[in-house]
Structure 1
């Protein structure tokens, strides 16, 4: 079973984002997004947002380890346990009536009526993590946060400090997500 989520950009009144089908929980999305921002996109938030939110026709099936290109080997190993897989989009969808699929978007006003669990808003100061229980706001994870931080307990988050002042809460690599591994086989 997948955990659905959205990657979003801030708007004057909230956010707008694009659907991501697999591995939407914070324990997989936050490390990948933090490392991608730092290493793959070179801290260029505009390029990252364009790639993840704006340039996707329908939605993402999965965000892959290709977003870790340029990251140090120890970060890649900690986040992927040595696995490699490409990001993939939802390009082969078929609608019940045969019409072309439409872009799978979310905003702060439509989130509650959609079947999703997390929204990740890419803000200048970090990633705002909005859980399904409340689609208006959530904790902010600073961009400088070590991607190896343990993000399995959202209740313990309180504006996680950048890695220059904090160390990972849980050393060692995270276990690979079984649903993602099974889906790629």
Structure 2
């Protein structure tokens, strides 16, 4: 089952972006986007936006581990496990009448009916919008550690509220005393 989301850039009136079909929850999307910004795109939000939004023909089926290129191996392994897969665009998509589908830009006007989560790549960080709860959301600073664990609870991602996240432990707990406040990181799901 998919968790529909979008990745967008800010506009004068809101945002404009592209649909992403799989793995839209903050717990998997935010660490991937933060790591991509910090390592693959060398902290260049415009280069990242061009790649994720402008260079897509129709939409993304899924964002892959190629976005972790340049990241430390330990981080890539934590976020994706040992498996590697490329980002995949949707292909051979047709409308109900059989005509080829065209790219649909996701904006604040049409996003609520299309997706559950939105990620706006702002100069200061990633705005996370829980579209079933709000039309705006908190902004996660670009300097946030990609190891950070983010909540997937829709109602916690509200404007003016702190981001629902916990920092990872500095060192691993001993096997005899696991920390209940630090659940194991869930690797990104590959479809």
TM range (shorter): 0.7 to 0.9
Q: Distance in 1 between matches of 2:27 and 2:152?
A: 8
Paired residues in the alignment total 174
Q: For each residue in 1:116-149, what CA deviation from the matched residue of structure 2 results, as whole angstroms up to 9, or x when unmatched?
A: 1001000001000001224521011110111111
**2:78 aligned partner:** 78
**1:158 aligned partner:** 162
Q: Distance in 1 between matches of 2:38 and 2:78?
A: 15
Structure 1's unaligned 5+ residue stretches are none
**1:58 aligned partner:** 58
Give 1:100-119 correspondences, 5 Å limit: 100-112=100-112, 114-119=113-118
The 3 A distance-change label for structure 1 pair 110 and 128 is: same
RMSD: 2.1
Runs of 4+ off more than 2 Å: 133-136, 152-157, 166-177
Higher alpha-carbon Rg: 2
Structure 2's unaligned 5+ residue stretches are 170-181
Cα displacement (A) at 1:106:
1.1
Q: Distance in 1 between matches of 2:188 and 2:31?
A: 13
The 3 A distance-change label for structure 1 pair 124 and 160 is: farther
